[in-house]
A = this chain, B = another copy of it.
Amino acid sequence: MISKDMVKLGTQRSVIREIFELGKLRAAIVGRENIHDFSIGNPNVPAPQEVKDAIKDIVDNESPVAYHSYTSSPGADETRDAIASSLNRRFGTNFTKANMFISCGAAASLNICLKAMTASSDDEYIVFAPYFSEYKFFIEAAGGKFVMIPADTEAFQIDFDLFEKAINKNTKAVLINSPNNPSGVVYTEETIKKLAKILVEKSKEYGEIIYLISDEPYRELVYGNVVVPFVTKYYDNTLVCYSYSKSLSLPGERIGYVLIPSEVGNFEDMFAAVAGSARILGYVCAPSLFQKVITKCVDVMPDLTIYERNRNLLNDSLTKMGYRVAKPDGAFYLFFAAPDGDSIAFCEKAKEHDLLLVPGDGFGCPGYMRLSYCVQTEQIERALPVFQKLI
């Protein structure tokens, strides 16, 4: 007998994948242009020219042994240096390469951190709805307990009353994701400050550090004048999980990092635990050519023109039609309420018009729907009459 849990995890396609597959099926019947598919968060903006230039520069001018060899497990020194310096320039921090562990993307980073921290099966991880559905599986795979705080559906910040009540002596860490998937909402500085204050107090009360894990693949995707607070500046015991998947449109390349500030309690043990955990999850090193590419492109920022245009068009149109929309300041998601509160029924009805949305239920937030707007603007224009019809 093999592992039933793994069979189940491999068989149960996520709801998002199910809807995506349906879209492909319907496209084959009625034509791609007649499908309003807003189900998947796959960046449609190509990687910036600098990435292509960097790849060609490296393969043209360096030796394959230099760019295809193993790096040390936390990554190449030059890559770790370059990222630390870039963060310092942008956020006024004081990181060095000693704080950087280059990883195979955000999912790898999260799994590595969770495995590094989990010391007992009593360890609890607090997550705020709406949350990225895989978190639950990652936390349980590391041997911890998943604790969900229901959504604050007023502002999609944090329901601090429920949060404070959920913290106990077993709380190992709190996992946040801002800009958020699925809501597109950015936590305000006020939210981060209040969160930090509670974590300081509760760590003191229980005599054990409560860590903060900040999952930030969408950090660079914000619109207007919105600023994403850089979390390590507000709370010492923060680990940042980052990925270049969205900011440089490199989701397939699996490259990102874990940032472990020196201020983290027992810093040396934490860094060692991250390395140990990466080791036994099978991560030998992050892809070496792309470590070099990142080194060259560390200050390249994404072109947000299309995403911002899409977000404005959708937000304005849906609001005008009378939909209740969460403040869409970041990522490429719009989260909005089903008019009658039943998101599953709404999504089913939408399907009849070949409009594909993801119900919020799988993100711990029933009554709402996620719409990914990393699509062509024309697709949105074609879909607007359907949204009008459905309200």
A63 an interface residue at 8 Å Cβ cutoff? yes
Q: Complex formed: what's the CA distance from A56 to B109 in Å?
A: 30
Partner of A71, one of B252, B282, B290: B252
> How far, in angstroms, from A56 to B59 measured CA to CA in the complex?
8
**In the docked arrangement, what's the CA distance between A251 and B55, Å?**
18
Within 8 A of B (CB), among A43-84: 43-44, 46-47, 51-52, 55-56, 59, 63-65, 67-71
The docked-state distance in angstroms from the alpha carbon of A286 to that of B252 is 7
A119 touches B (CB below 8 Å): yes
How many subunits of this chain does the assembly comprise? Answer: 2
Q: Would you give the 0/1 interface string for A85-111, flagging 1 where the beta carbon is closer than 8 Å to chain B?
A: 000000000000000000011011111
A126 touches B (CB below 8 Å): no
User: With a CB–CB cut-off of 8 A, which chain B residues contact A10?
Assistant: 271-277, 279
Q: Is A361 an interface residue (CB 8 A)?
A: no
**In contact, B3 and A115 (Cβ under 8 angstroms):** yes
What's the nearest-Cβ distance from chain B to residue A145, in Å?
15
Residues of B within 8 A of A43 (CB): 65, 69
Give, as a whole number of angstroms, the nearest-CB distance from A188 to chain B. 30
Nearest Cβ on chain B to A71's Cβ, whole angstroms: 6
A109 to B134: give the CA distance in the assembly, Å: 21
Of B9, B104, B251, which one neighbours A70 at CB under 8 angstroms?
Answer: B251
Q: Are B3 and A119 in contact (CB under 8 A)?
A: yes
- A116 cross-chain contacts in B, Cβ below 8 A: 2-3, 6
Q: Are A8 and B276 in contact (CB under 8 A)?
A: yes
Counting chain B CB atoms within 10 Å of each CB, which of A7, A271, A288, A289 scores highest?
A7
Asked whether any CB of chain B lies closer than 8 Å to the CB of A269, the reply is yes
What is the bound-complex CA distance between A63 and B46, given in angstroms?
8
A253 at the interface (CB under 8 A from B): yes
Cβ contact within 8 Å between A59 and B63:
no
Q: Which residues of B contact A71 (CB under 8 A)?
A: 252
**Is A277 touching B3 in the complex (CB atoms < 8 A)?**
yes
A11 within 8 A of B: yes
- Other-chain residue from B5, B55, B107 in contact with A282 (beta carbon distance below 8 A): B107
A286 to B: closest C-beta gap in Å: 8
Contact between chains at A47 and B64 (CB < 8 Å): yes
Task: Determine the residue in chain B with the shortest Cβ distance to A278.
Answer: B10
In the bound complex, how far is the Cα of B9 from the Cα of A43, in angstroms?
36
Q: Assess the A7–B272 pair: CB atoms within 8 A.
A: yes
User: A6-B272, A43-B69, A287-B287 known; 17 other A-B pairs, CB under 8 Å?
Assistant: A3-B117, A6-B116, A6-B274, A9-B279, A9-B280, A10-B274, A10-B277, A47-B64, A55-B59, A56-B59, A68-B252, A104-B283, A138-B280, A138-B282, A140-B280, A252-B291, A254-B285
